[in-house]
Amino acid sequence: MKTIDPHELAQPDFYRLLTSSVGPRPIAFVSTVDREGRPNLSPFSFFNVFAANPPTLVFAPNRNRHGHKKDTLLNLEEIPEVVINVVNYALLEQMSMTSAEYERGVSEFTKAGLTPAPSERVRPPRVAEAPASYECHVRQMVETSDGPGGGTLVICEVVMAHFQEAIFDEKGAIDPHRIDLIARLGGDWYCRANGDSLFELPRPKPGIGFDQLPSFVRNSAILSGNDLGKLASWPALPTPQEVASYRQSGVLQNLLEEARYGCLYLPDLLHNRAKNLLAANEVKEAWLVLLQQAGQ
């Protein structure tokens, strides 16, 4: 284990550790205007949803390497209104262009070839190409530091939202494949929330817990932490009668013969079989297989 006191490391070095280990982070594509009505558009990955009542988003425009405030923050000090646009894969390159440090007053909408669409309840325009946009009033700004790398937490209340029709499925829910979101990692790395990287995990109900796992299961060299988590989330262990009935059904006959005549270690065979069952979310059968070890 590498242990580091952040006060004993240069700020840029610890920043790289933070941003490389805390992620992937969603990206707020933030539109603001100054008091003259000139728009600014910038991405920020220190961003997330904070509450649902009222709907609240937060993001933090950090000061640049010279300790200067970014145009987004300067604009918010003049006009405390913002549109937070969501970034998907189709916007990746144009979003990246807007992160360059243009002169104050230059429109990143123009530089990145994006369409400013009029908002309904705030002055900054939204990004017409974004899959979702949130018009917000700024409720509070909390400054953490005025030096290089210092941040200002901007707390925003959503007052109007816009969604492209194409991101919804037939049931009216936002489809993660259709919205095709991207997220920020460390350095120059990003990730895309689509394809094989998407998976579902149902909300758990109270299960038996790790403390009730038999020691030969909990200390398995074959089952992973995720495997044990599935087993520990199961509501109750199968009864001895269920375990015996499963063995008598003959479903394990080939495995038992493999152990007997192939001189293989039966617990390893049982744990490997259970691991495959867990991968298919056949949790109860995995338990029935594992508990054969207790009665061997």
The reported pLDDT for the residue numbered 156 is 98
183/190 Cα distance (integer angstroms): 6
Residues 181-223 have pLDDT tens digits of 999 999 999 999 999 999 888 888 899 999 999 999 999 999 9
What range defines the domain where residue 222 resides? 210-290
**Domain membership flag for residue 152:** yes
Number of domains into which the chain is organized: 2
Q: Are residues 188 and 235 in the same domain?
A: no
Q: Are residues 168 and 241 in the same domain?
A: no
The average pLDDT across 60-71 equals 82
Q: Are residues 31 and 130 in the same domain?
A: yes
Q: Are residues 101 and 154 in the same domain?
A: yes
Residues 1-14 have pLDDT tens digits of 999 999 899 888 99
For 169, list phi and psi in degrees, rounded to 5.
-90, -175
**Domain membership flag for residue 281:** yes
Q: Side-chain half-sphere of 31: how many Cα atoms within 13 Å?
A: 31
The reported pLDDT for the residue numbered 296 is 53
Tokens of 168: 């919804």
The reported pLDDT for the residue numbered 270 is 93
Residues 107-125 have pLDDT tens digits of 999 999 999 999 999 999 9
We report the CATH number of the domain holding residue 83 as: 2.30.110.10
**Domain membership flag for residue 202:** no
**Domain membership flag for residue 295:** no
> Tokens 């520990």, residue?
232
Given a cut of 80, whether residue 263 has pLDDT beyond it is: no
Given a cut of 90, whether residue 145 has pLDDT beyond it is: no
291/275 Cα distance (integer angstroms): 13
The reported pLDDT for the residue numbered 257 is 84
Global pTM value: 0.87
Residues 225-255 have pLDDT tens digits of 999 999 999 999 999 999 999 999 989 988 8
Q: Are residues 89 and 158 in the same domain?
A: yes
**Domain membership flag for residue 63:** yes
Of 197, 219, 245, which residue is a domain's last? Answer: 197
Tokens of 88: 């998907």
**C-beta pairs of 210-218 under 8 Å, 24+ apart in sequence:** 212/237, 214/290, 214/291, 214/294, 216/267, 216/293, 216/294, 217/290
Of 197, 230, 248, which residue is a domain's last? Answer: 197
Residues 16-31 have pLDDT tens digits of 999 999 999 999 999 9
Mean pLDDT, the chain, as a whole number? 93
Residue type (1 letter), 89: Y
Q: Are residues 12 and 49 in the same domain?
A: yes
Q: Are residues 53 and 158 in the same domain?
A: yes
Of the listed ranges 142-146, 195-199, 246-250, 283-287, the least confidently predicted one is: 142-146
Q: How many helices (H) and strands (E) does the chain have?
A: 11, 11
Of 170, 197, 224, which residue is a domain's last? Answer: 197
Given a cut of 70, whether residue 295 has pLDDT beyond it is: no
The residues with which 56 forms a beta bridge, in sequence order, are 51, 157
**Domain membership flag for residue 203:** no
Q: Are residues 78 and 215 in the same domain?
A: no
Annotate 215-279 with DSSP letters as a single string. Answer: HHHHT-SSS-HHHHHHHHTSSSPPPHHHHHHHHHTTTTHHHHHHHHHS---HHHHHHHHHHHHHH
